[in-house]
Structure 1
Amino acid sequence: MRNMEFKEQMHEYSQWRAQLVQTIEMYHQWRSRYGMNDAHSTDIILNIVNGLQADRITLAFVAEFSRGKTELINALFFAETGVRLLPSSPGRTTMSPTELFHDEKGGSYIRLLNIESRLEDISLAEFKNNPDRWLQIDLDSTSPTQMQEAFKELVATKQVDRALADQLGLWNAREAAEQGIINPEKVEIPCWRHALISFPHPLLKQGLSILDTPGLNALGTEPELTLNMLPSAQAIIFVLAADTGVTKSDLEMWHNHVCHNRGGNKQGLAVVMNKIDAMWDDLADENGYDDSIRSQIKTSALTLKVNEDVIFPVSAKQALLAKVKDDQALLEKSRLAALENYLANNILKQRKDILLGIITRDIGFLVNESSNLTSASLVHAIAQLEEFKKIDFQNEDMTGKLMAEMRDRQNLYMANVKNFKASRLVFGVQAQMLVDSFAKEKIDDIIKTTKHDMAKSLTTYGMKQNIRKLFDELRELLQDSVDITNETRRLVKAIHKKFNDEYGFKEIEPQLFSIKHYQIELEQIFDEGEVFRSSARTTMSEQSVVINKLYSTLIVKARNILRLANADAITWSNGVLTPLMHQIKGHKKQIEGRLQMLKKINESKDSIIENIASLEAELEPLKRQRDELKLIINAMHLDVDR
């Protein structure tokens, strides 16, 4: 079956990632073996390794109710169980956002967060770190039937007072009135706010994670889905119904909750036109059926403003049936293969490219530094050997002159050390200003004050003005950090230039702290904050609900970004001058080695040939060091200078 191709490519991706981790660990051992390790480089390397080991390919499935989204997930990934694993029968729509993954430590389970948790000023991310707040049902991963029974909780609902439903953001009078429901005493709502499912499916074990989001209302009332989880997914599969095309609610979901939060970037977006079996007509010829599908694809592409080649007509229901019954003809008729190929050949490749880009950015500088220093040591040793071969060591004046030159170089080295310490002190003051600009206390003071002012606001207008004030103050704080960053970058460049110009250090472009990606992320949050502030939903919602939503989503996200910037600034400032320190140590080693050799030759002029041979032998470890590094760099397949 075609799905095997996705499984095989997922397995290959998992193997590639494991080999990359192994190679990076070899590089770390290489640095340790040759005395290049330091706290800064170790932190960078360990962070990369931990990130790779925890990496997941997240596929988010987004659709309005009754588009067959959960059936599509069953057909794509879980058909080999022989059952409809996730509930997707008519009238059995998944009610709570659901994440499927493999938790190696936690085992097999379904965790359910009660819907009333929405009333608490706690984010979903915080709830995930507290398993005690979830109802846990253990799963028997060897029994699809037991799992199928447990998953019925995903569609559970209950009746509550309309006032509570309103507080939870699950009652919309206008939408209810359109359905002929006016002022009911009780309202049907989902039992669960969020579901986490872990079991050892082969794809999940290899790092696949699936996010199933139920309908426009869930996205509108759970901002964390739209603001945090969907943007971080490697791919979003947006599901339409083939017989209806793009409806008004589909289009609202597409614009407000899919495209907007990916910054307009449509990479990693696929559209599935499901339920094409509804268009099957035994009385019509095959050409007419194909023409109908092509027409629907063209119309949907124009409406959604995407290329036609990312729209996939599919019958998930028939694909699942075909896989369970091993019916190749029906599977081909379901047209699932094109979507599976897209996931295998596009999404996995995109993720691999993204990871390589991140690793090249984070580790490329270290690798370049290692390569430059290793090459410089070898070149210097070869030059010294050639120089020694030409010297007449029987001439005492000549050896005396060489000894004097080396003493001068030793004095220069001491001056290097003194100047380096002075430069590091100056840089330390500037770097502390940079770190302090992202200080948690500054951020929390702004957030705490504005939250207090919002709570005191007597009008919606006053509350909205305080929301604007909050984001304006955070923007000002960010601008201060930008200014300090630019000044710090200028200082680092000046220090490197000084050592390059005055002491003849090999020019290594300094790794400069960048605030740009934090700026982009925060500006996106500020834009989302303005949309949130001016939305009709904010105007109509109870003040405490608005404040809780704002602080549990946008503000938590902004604080986390600034916290990461703070940690990044600390790590960078601790290590940015390390390459200079390595060069100083390298100079010291070269000077001491040359002085020792001169003394040895001077004391035993009869053994010049032996000493030259000794110098030649010392080239071998340097060549081995260089060759080992080349092999490691080649194994990494990184786009770095060599």
Structure 2
Amino acid sequence: MGPSFSEQFDRFGHWRRDFAGQMAGFRGWLAAQDLLDAAVQDHLQRLENLLRDDKVCVAFVAEFSRGKSELINAVFFAHYGRRIMPATPGRTTMCPTELGYDPALPPCLRLLPVESRSQPHSLAEWRNRPAAWVQLPLDVNDPDQLAHNVAYVAQVRKVSVQEAQLLGFWSDEAGADNPVCDALGMVEIPRWRHALLNLSHPLLKQGLVIVDTPGLNAVGTEPELTVNLIAQAHAVVFLLAADAGVTKSDLAIWKEHLLPCHREGNAHLVVLNKIDTLWGSLDSGTEVQAQLNRQRAHSAQVLEIDPARIVPLSAQKGLMAKIESNASLLKNSGLPLFEDLLAQGILAHRQSILCSVVGEGVMQLQAQVLRSIHIRRRDLDEQMLELRSLRGKNSTVIESMRQRIRQEQRTFEASSTKILAVRSVHLKLMNQAFQFLGATSLRRELEQLTGALAQAGLKMGVRKVYASTFEQLRGLGAHCKATAAEIQAMLGGTFRDLNTEFGFSLQPPSDLQLHDFDRELAQIEESYLQYLGFGHSLKLANPLFGQRMVNALGMRLRAVFESAANDLDLWSKSATSQLDAQLKERKRSFARRIEAVDRINEAASGLMERIAEIESAEQQLSALEQRLAQWMQQLVQPYAVQPQELVAEGQAT
């Protein structure tokens, strides 16, 4: 039997940290060789942060009583020897629960009261208001205490129909889908709106984030949950009951809240849970398997997905088998197959992203560092030609050369005024470009949509406003690129002049690439569009719901715009760092040339000594290039192989 999801993820986490350590070692080597300019430093810092702080989010989504919490227990918490997430029959996890690790906080459960839904603030804004949360301590070494406090996520309270309506749990138009009233006319709602579980679990410490969602009602009334948390999850596990298949409410969650966010992929799995309910039937094992196959095929047809992505299992039996170390029961539960598919999907997903970003970043680093090495080599070559021309020359010729070098130096220093003027224009244009991607511009473009959603009653024209808003947002990106093209043209012309006048080897900046900006805008636009359809018109009639929706939209758009601003900043630094590097090397070159001429003038042996020094320096540069190539191979090759080997190793074990 292969390693579990926990073991495979643990290996991946170790590799990621080791790779980040290699990047830190590379940074130290560059600093020791005086090759760590601003652009290289920024590149390295981003790559190291990506690898160290990378989060992998797995969202478990289903209607009530499908066994989400039990599956989470079986996959992640079986080592405690008992359930940690509440998983008794009936409704258990009543509010969305995020499991993660923040070293700045003690182990704790933080609970946001459901009354917060009467205010328009987004969940992200509530996170920055710690006083609004109820915090319970957790003892990770005491399973009973841990489970007792985590059980708070299942708490409910009784409220009037009016309060339930205010909080979004009741609608006159929903009819039978509303909560059931008791004899006093009260309805039961969750006590908490959102829960954050901070645990120093080995996998959570390595960046795993688990999202447990509590059913259609909560998912449908929290736009931020659907289009932010679930939409950005790296893996989504959708649970069905094996004996019921795809029910009406299951299909509603799938079509309304998952399909707009996630497409076909190995990291999107459907689970037919509770297959053990069929084991005790009068049917034979063959008949039970045939029944499962029919349910699997039918579910695949209804959900319109590949049957291979539907996994029959029993989370309850899998948890029991792990606790009792019962290998036979574990195999029959189907849990190992699910864990393997989940690990493969996540590792493949993260590999594709990290490999692309890291691979591209490493190649850019190599080009930047090589450029600095080539600048040094060119200066050495010029010095060598200059010194060899002095062989056999008298002191008058040597002094004449010294004066010529001094004149070149004065001319070069006089050009600093021109370079400062270029920097001033560059800074001004960069500020303009940043403004297009700033919070003020984003807020301004969202004002019309915010106003449309704040109006009372049905919002018939909001889809048109929505489409116009995203067209304007794409326009901001286009304006930013146009300003970058202006910067590119200005720097290109300046670089050509400096190359001609001073023999520099400055390369004109490449085109600005705002990675995935338009694609991510399109994805966000599509995912939120679901809330503007006729089926959500009654929810949109509630101004609070519209406000929560636009707040959640703004939070996600802000992340996209900040990422684009980071791309712009890195592009600018890459363009100007070569100028800084060549200016720095040219100043050093003048100092070395004058020093060499003075030494030659003082002693006949000085010329040969300086030539020998330059030859030695050229050999050192060749050694630097070779070591750089070794670093590149060391950084790129393990990354391209190891994550795949982790999965292959898990399959072969």
TM-score by length of 2: 0.86
For residue 54 of structure 2, what is the aligned residue in structure 1?
55
Seen in structure 2, the aligned counterparts of structure 1 residues 562 and 611 have a Cα distance that, compared at 3 Å, is closer
1:194 paired with 2:190, answer no
For residue 532 of structure 1, what is the aligned residue in structure 2?
531
For residue 645 of structure 2, what is the aligned residue in structure 1?
none
| 2:458 aligns with one of 421, 441, 460 | 460
**Counterpart code for 1:289:** V
For residue 143 of structure 1, what is the aligned residue in structure 2?
142
For residue 585 of structure 1, what is the aligned residue in structure 2?
584
Q: Which runs of 5+ in 2 are unaligned?
A: 640-653
Seen in structure 2, the aligned counterparts of structure 1 residues 416 and 51 have a Cα distance that, compared at 3 Å, is same
For residue 65 of structure 1, what is the aligned residue in structure 2?
64
Structure-to-structure mapping, 1:300-449, within 5 angstroms = 300-362=299-361, 364-378=363-377, 381=380, 385=384, 387=385, 391=389, 393-396=391-394, 410=409, 413-414=412-413, 417=416, 419-448=418-447
**Counterpart code for 1:394:** G
**Counterpart code for 2:99:** L
Seen in structure 2, the aligned counterparts of structure 1 residues 458 and 364 have a Cα distance that, compared at 3 Å, is same
Q: Tell me how far apart the structure 1 counterparts of residues 555 and 199 of structure 2 sit (CA, whole Å).
A: 30
- Residues 186-209 of structure 1: CA distance to partner in whole angstroms, max 9, x if unpaired? 211111111111222222222222
Q: Tell me how far apart the structure 2 counterparts of residues 79 and 487 of structure 1 sit (CA, whole Å).
A: 55
For residue 87 of structure 2, what is the aligned residue in structure 1?
88
**Counterpart code for 2:24:** E
Secondary structure in 1 aligned to 2:237? strand
- The offset of 1:224, in angstroms, is 0.8
- The offset of 1:290, in angstroms, is 3.2
Q: Tell me how far apart the structure 2 counterparts of residues 313 and 507 of structure 1 sit (CA, whole Å).
A: 61
Seen in structure 2, the aligned counterparts of structure 1 residues 81 and 597 have a Cα distance that, compared at 3 Å, is same
For residue 240 of structure 2, what is the aligned residue in structure 1?
240
- Residues 349-382 of structure 1: CA distance to partner in whole angstroms, max 9, x if unpaired? 4213322323344564344201232244246536
Q: Are 2:64 and 2:90, in contact at CA under 8 Å, matched by a contact in 1?
A: no
- The offset of 1:484, in angstroms, is 4.1
RMSD across aligned C-alpha pairs, in angstroms?
3.4
Q: Are 1:298 and 1:308, in contact at CA under 8 Å, matched by a contact in 2?
A: yes
- The offset of 1:105, in angstroms, is 2.6
Q: Are 1:375 and 1:626, in contact at CA under 8 Å, matched by a contact in 2?
A: no
Secondary structure in 2 aligned to 1:261? coil
1:220 paired with 2:220, answer yes
Q: Which moved more, 1:478-487 or 1:339-348?
A: 478-487
Q: Tell me how far apart the structure 1 counterparts of residues 215 and 557 of structure 2 sit (CA, whole Å).
A: 26
Q: Are 1:112 and 1:135, in contact at CA under 8 Å, matched by a contact in 2?
A: yes
Q: Which moved more, 1:156-165 or 1:275-284?
A: 275-284
Q: Tell me how far apart the structure 2 counterparts of residues 179 and 361 of structure 1 sit (CA, whole Å).
A: 52
**Counterpart code for 1:197:** L
- The offset of 1:122, in angstroms, is 1.1
1:489 paired with 2:485, answer yes
Task: Give % identity.
Answer: 29
Q: Tell me how far apart the structure 2 counterparts of residues 82 and 639 of structure 1 sit (CA, whole Å).
A: 37
Seen in structure 2, the aligned counterparts of structure 1 residues 470 and 32 have a Cα distance that, compared at 3 Å, is same
- The offset of 1:576, in angstroms, is 3.1
Secondary structure in 2 aligned to 1:232? coil
Q: Are 2:57 and 2:208, in contact at CA under 8 Å, matched by a contact in 1?
A: yes
Q: Tell me how far apart the structure 2 counterparts of residues 254 and 452 of structure 1 sit (CA, whole Å).
A: 30
Secondary structure in 2 aligned to 1:93? coil
Q: Are 2:96 and 2:211, in contact at CA under 8 Å, matched by a contact in 1?
A: yes
Q: Which moved more, 1:176-185 or 1:33-42?
A: 176-185
- The offset of 1:61, in angstroms, is 0.7
Structure-to-structure mapping, 1:563-642, within 5 angstroms = 563-566=562-565, 568-570=567-569, 572-573=571-572, 576-619=575-618, 621-637=620-636
- Residues 217-261 of structure 1: CA distance to partner in whole angstroms, max 9, x if unpaired? 111011111111112211111112222222232222222212212
Seen in structure 2, the aligned counterparts of structure 1 residues 269 and 398 have a Cα distance that, compared at 3 Å, is farther
For residue 469 of structure 1, what is the aligned residue in structure 2?
465
**Counterpart code for 1:82:** G
For residue 502 of structure 1, what is the aligned residue in structure 2?
500
- The offset of 1:12, in angstroms, is 2.1
Seen in structure 2, the aligned counterparts of structure 1 residues 38 and 324 have a Cα distance that, compared at 3 Å, is same
Q: Tell me how far apart the structure 1 counterparts of residues 277 and 24 of structure 2 sit (CA, whole Å).
A: 54
- The offset of 1:129, in angstroms, is 2.2
Q: Are 1:30 and 1:629, in contact at CA under 8 Å, matched by a contact in 2?
A: no
Q: Tell me how far apart the structure 2 counterparts of residues 624 and 110 of structure 1 sit (CA, whole Å).
A: 55
For residue 550 of structure 1, what is the aligned residue in structure 2?
549
Seen in structure 2, the aligned counterparts of structure 1 residues 519 and 326 have a Cα distance that, compared at 3 Å, is same
Q: Which moved more, 1:586-595 or 1:67-76?
A: 586-595
Q: Tell me how far apart the structure 1 counterparts of residues 281 and 160 of structure 2 sit (CA, whole Å).
A: 49
Q: Tell me how far apart the structure 1 counterparts of residues 95 and 251 of structure 2 sit (CA, whole Å).
A: 21
Q: Which moved more, 1:630-639 or 1:325-334?
A: 630-639
Seen in structure 2, the aligned counterparts of structure 1 residues 24 and 559 have a Cα distance that, compared at 3 Å, is same
Q: Are 1:437 and 1:481, in contact at CA under 8 Å, matched by a contact in 2?
A: yes
- The offset of 1:497, in angstroms, is 6.2
For residue 14 of structure 1, what is the aligned residue in structure 2?
13
1:254 paired with 2:259, answer no
- Residues 317-352 of structure 1: CA distance to partner in whole angstroms, max 9, x if unpaired? 111111111111111111211111123333124213
Q: Tell me how far apart the structure 2 counterparts of residues 552 and 180 of structure 1 sit (CA, whole Å).
A: 27
Secondary structure in 2 aligned to 1:61? strand
Q: Tell me how far apart the structure 2 counterparts of residues 502 and 552 of structure 1 sit (CA, whole Å).
A: 53
Q: Which moved more, 1:307-316 or 1:481-490?
A: 481-490
Q: Which moved more, 1:345-354 or 1:72-81?
A: 345-354
Structure-to-structure mapping, 1:88-127, within 5 angstroms = 88-127=87-126
Q: Tell me how far apart the structure 1 counterparts of residues 508 and 81 of structure 2 sit (CA, whole Å).
A: 58
- The offset of 1:512, in angstroms, is 4.2
Q: Tell me how far apart the structure 2 counterparts of residues 239 and 308 of structure 1 sit (CA, whole Å).
A: 14
**Counterpart code for 2:549:** L
Q: Which moved more, 1:50-59 or 1:81-90?
A: 50-59
- Residues 94-150 of structure 1: CA distance to partner in whole angstroms, max 9, x if unpaired? 111111122323121111111111111211112122222111111121111111222
Q: Tell me how far apart the structure 2 counterparts of residues 282 and 450 of structure 1 sit (CA, whole Å).
A: 56
Q: Which moved more, 1:35-44 or 1:118-127?
A: 35-44
- Residues 566-598 of structure 1: CA distance to partner in whole angstroms, max 9, x if unpaired? 465456445531222212333343454345434
